[in-house]
Each structure stands twice: as structure tokens, then as C-alpha cells.
Amino acid sequence: MKIVVNINYGGFDVSPKVLTELGFLKPYTYLCNLQFGIESDNDNAYRADPRLINAIEKIGLRKSAGPYNELKIVEIPDDVDWEIYEYDGVETIHEKHRVWK
């Protein structure tokens, strides 16, 4: 499975070219599961949507990034339950683990 993340400070964002490629008629302030018709407890499930991945690969990582970020497509095994961890805008993908308090 491929997932797109931001690897630079500034937070996740995509260029208007990606929004156009996806067929979004008006720009959104941020992408989310709703725009992709995804119902999931994982708020970032859309980051693995093949339509988003294909649009970014078609346009290229550099031209797909918003003005203050750098995108990377990370490949992980399909059976991993994952989440995106963000610190100061830089994101990494983590396998979900159980936590008790």
C-alpha cells in the first residue's frame, strides 16, 4: 500500500494541480476523507487513496506539493493498521499499537 506524507516542516498540503487532476471543482482548505467518500476512524485514510496517489505520481512529487511542504510516497505492507504521526509538520507512518492507561 502506498501512502503520501509530508517530510518537511509546514504540514501536509497539495498543489492546485493535484486538486484539478482529482476533478475537484473548487479548492478545499484541506483534503480529508469526506472528499474521497471514505468512512474510517483513521482521519488520514485518504492519504492511501489510489486516486490521490495516482494524481501525485502523474504530476510529480515536487509539482504536487503545496508551497511549504515536501511530499513523499511511502510503501508499507497491505495488512498493516497504520496511522500518521506528525511533529512540527514532518510526518511519519507508524503501525498502530494498543495502549492502556
| Cα–Cα distance, 95 to 7 (Å, whole number) | 18
Residue 99 has pLDDT above 80, yes or no: no
Q: What is the pLDDT of residues 10-39, one digit of tens each?
A: 889 999 999 999 988 776 667 899 999 999
Task: Using DSSP, state whether 30 is helix, strand or coil.
Answer: coil
- Percent of the chain exceeding pLDDT 70 equals 97
- Percent of the chain exceeding pLDDT 90 equals 72
Domain locations in the chain?
2-95
Identify the band that residue 101 occupies on the pLDDT scale cut at 50, 70 and 90: confident
Q: What is the pTM of this model?
A: 0.91
